[in-house]
Chains A and B, each alone.
Chain A
Amino acid sequence: MPAVLRSLPTPEAADLLELTRDLVDRELAPRVAAFEAAGEFPREVFRTLGKAGLLGLAYPEEQGGGGQPYEVYLQVLEELARGWSAVAVGVSVHTLSCFPVAQFGTPQQQERWLPDMLGGELLGAYCLSESHSGSDAAALSTRAVRDGDAYLVNGTKAWVTHGGHADFYNLMVRTGQAGPKGISCLLAAADTPGLQPLPPEKKMGMRSSPTASVLLEDARVPADRLLAAEGEGFTIAMSALDGGRLGIAACAVGVAQAALDVAVDYARERRQFGQVIADFQGLSFLLADMATQVEAARALYLSAARRRDAGQPYGPQASMAKLFCTDTAMRVTTDAVQVLGGYGYVEDFPAERFLREAKIMQIFEGTNQVQRLVIGRSLTRP
């Protein structure tokens, strides 16, 4: 695949992108089809990425991270997604899962956990959703009650990416009143007694990324695993999601780019009516529109990322990027199937997989309706 022309802020960022492409070519691309078909989680691939330093890129070097701006980290995610979107989403979710302790943890908590989290030894999960509270996340009902030097947690978190494979779980739990102000964040270890992941969901796509409910039955989480104060959990969850949404936006552009790559390659080979189909203007216009949308989507997430890197407010822009990039991925992957005709609809080509992978991106980390809600609020209730 031809390299995407990128403008990168530093020579080290260019080296990092080159390392990423090398890893994609040699470690991701050869495995993706088989792991997706088998629905198997590639834990080893995450170890490789961790050793290469790709699981803590967006965090400061003092904390054990890569000290990279979001502008660079997101382009790494995009390249990973171009090769294997379930892995890229996993890296994004892991990065999001490190955010609560990196941003809100005490120095002691950070010292204790962050190096292994950012170094990729420990894989993270983020547990906000429940079966009855998805978009209305603040309505969550999993309860945590202080009991001596621990919290006793009861309830079920749903849709947990890496559920059953993660080493630590950020649990958003209710410790107080109804609504967002009664929520706290606990950083639970996977071996917490009473924390039990259920069998993984059977999904339409992204099958190598495990999603599972996590049952909490009198789970005893030591009180020194509370992040920030009681009642701060929802604020933590939402600020982690701002960065997370940019991650999903970048993953979506990666999938869209992969679909475009496949469509262009195919259109240059496939002959009908005595000529390659790329030479039909009707088809080349489709490709042109796909490429234009991918480029626009990339520019939008980068623009939001640069705001974040400059320390400016970027919440609504992150929502715009998530909305636009994932809608773009849906359109572009659908069009890629169209370019391949019947061959786009069968598993021998990856186009149909890209389409299935794009769909979830319009749903998780806030549905695209919820993104519009956030954007709308920023306009009318600034």
Chain B
Amino acid sequence: MNIVVLVKQVPDTWAERKLDATDKTLDRASVDVVMNEIDEYAVEEALRIQADQGGEVTIVSMAPDRGVETIRKALSMGADKAVHLSDPALHGSDAVQTSYALAKVLGTLEYDLVIAGSEATDSRMAIMTPLLAERLGQPQLSGARKVTVDGGTVRIERQTDNGYDVVEASTPAIVSVVEKINEPRYPSFKGIMAAKKKPLTTLTLADAGIEADRVGLASAPSQVVEFSNKPPRQAGQIVKDEGDGGVKVAEYLASQKLV
């Protein structure tokens, strides 16, 4: 069972995230970056399936050069090798273009499963796995809180609002996972040391057979036209309780259509 895990480097969720004023893309340079949190669960799930079934776990990440830090973290958790798609021409690519580029990279690899986090904390579109499934013509199993693999069949429990659905497909398939699925391990000190020696292939557009005019900000199908900063937080409204505090709070909530 060979598994590819898609890993994205994102700005630290706790940092103040900004758009770059010049080209309206995400400012990745001025903030701390981390592995997208749900991707840690994806790596963990791949490692668990591997422990059970053997095979190799390959990390795939499209990111600027700095993305190496995040890839190393995934390797230090225990993945075997990594492919890093990194090319200045990718800057500003939107989700549709990214799915094209990632599909090209996946096309260079042999796998039974692709596992990814269900969404990234920066864009929050939750659309990468469906786009990839469409491009690759492979089944998509999304929102998995449990994954079982049996021969050429992969079965998941898909988290729903009031329970779960059982969904099944034949491999190769693309699975996205939610946080309920497992508890990601910490890299061990030995894992960190070992990660430095694991194979990491860096691909440019040409290496992956990606056509330059189909990626990047200039040809992006979706464009950020305008943005403005979040308005500063308004001072709260203080309700003085003169015996009617409860009523006033209820009225306020009703006026805001919260109750």
Residues of A in contact with B (beta carbons under 8 Å apart): 12, 15-16, 19, 22-23, 48, 51-54, 57, 66
Contact = CB atoms under 8 A, between A and B. Distances in A.
A19 B185 contact: no
Contacts of A66: 189-190
A16 B189 contact: yes
Contact of A48 (B186, B191, B193): B186
A52 B193 contact: no
A19 B193 contact: no
Interface string B153-197: 000000000000000000000000000000001111111110000
A52 B188 CA distance: 4
DSSP class of A's interface residues: helix, strand, loop or mixed? helix
B254 to A, nearest CB: 36
A66 B194 CA distance: 12
Nearest to A57: B189
Interface of B: 185-193
Given A16-B192, A52-B188, A57-B189, 6 more contacts: A16-B189, A51-B188, A53-B189, A53-B190, A53-B191, A66-B189
Contacts of B190: 53, 66
Contacts of A54: 189
A48 to B, nearest CB: 7
A22 B186 contact: yes
B32 to A, nearest CB: 12
Contacts of A48: 186
A92 B179 CA distance: 34
A231 B188 CA distance: 39
- Smallest CB-CB A-B distances: 7 pairs: A53-B189, A53-B188, A15-B192, A52-B186, A52-B188, A53-B190, A66-B189
A55 to B, nearest CB: 10
A66 B193 CA distance: 10
Nearest to B196: A12
Contacts of B189: 15-16, 19, 52-54, 57, 66
Contacts of B192: 12, 15-16, 19
A19 B186 CA distance: 8
A23 B186 CA distance: 8
